Structure 1
């Protein structure tokens, strides 16, 4: 599994004006429907005097089907929420929510104009949204003595091996490592420890990498 998502904690806000109407686009990471709907609630509270708070989101939940929702929030049917959702789909992102707040400027945009305006508002926000790639990797633990732990940790970092946890005890140090290939990891550890350290499978984890 490898998915492209907005980076956690990145709250994106952009604004455009089209024929005197203000379109404020908000984009955020959402790892569940509740988180997605929370941004809509926040937008209504932050911009209570706006006429429309249109939204769209895509959320993947482990063990469940993908959830996609959109809302026109009073705009003519199909002119806001669905165009926003189409932009999210086209971006390749998942676990993402977008809200576009509109302050009506007194000039009607027409059906086509609204579709373009809401689509472009989301596109503009996505253009500055930091992304991460989420990858499901295997987890392994390896135990070493205190005397070897510092050197081994440095060597693993130098080779790009992900260290998700380091535990210390009187007996020694236990590293929890994330890797896509267990056999390759075993070979790396054997080379670094002269065969003394053997990885033990410990499940899987989702690791996120920033996307340039």
Structure 2
């Protein structure tokens, strides 16, 4: 009888270790991917004589690296890379642009991200954003500043939040804590700052 209880206890311990290990492994994988992306971005060297960018041996093409954006939300201490294509691989390490044909500062620019397991990675803290908070998207030498004006929870099938709009806005999308619905944060464009203005 004691052996049976010990065996059951051991099984519960092993199952617990597996459940704890999965998010830690995923976080380690994500951290590894982010480090690789940062290394690739840091390796983008411009030849001062002709202004060309050297070809790199990474999982990302030169064009993909040149299109990497940064999303900054000061109120929740978020600063994350935004990759220009939504794939499972890209979502595992960064935020992603939902539609390829969208351009920052024009119509509805949508960004998706996982909630993340721990800490402040991905969109884990997005639910703490408030109306009026500032969202900054840095892309190709410009900083697009948006002001949050709408926060809502929608069903995964409610895709109209991605529709283009007449006004320039940003849409941030992630899962709710349960994973059954989507948290949508929208902001209107209030200012565009050229890189030369920020120096």
Q: Give the structure-1-normalised TM-score.
A: 0.24
Instruction: With a CA cutoff of 8 Å and minimum separation of 6, indicate the structure with the bigger relative contact order.
Output: 1
Q: TM-score, normalised by structure 2?
A: 0.25
Greater strand percent: which structure?
1
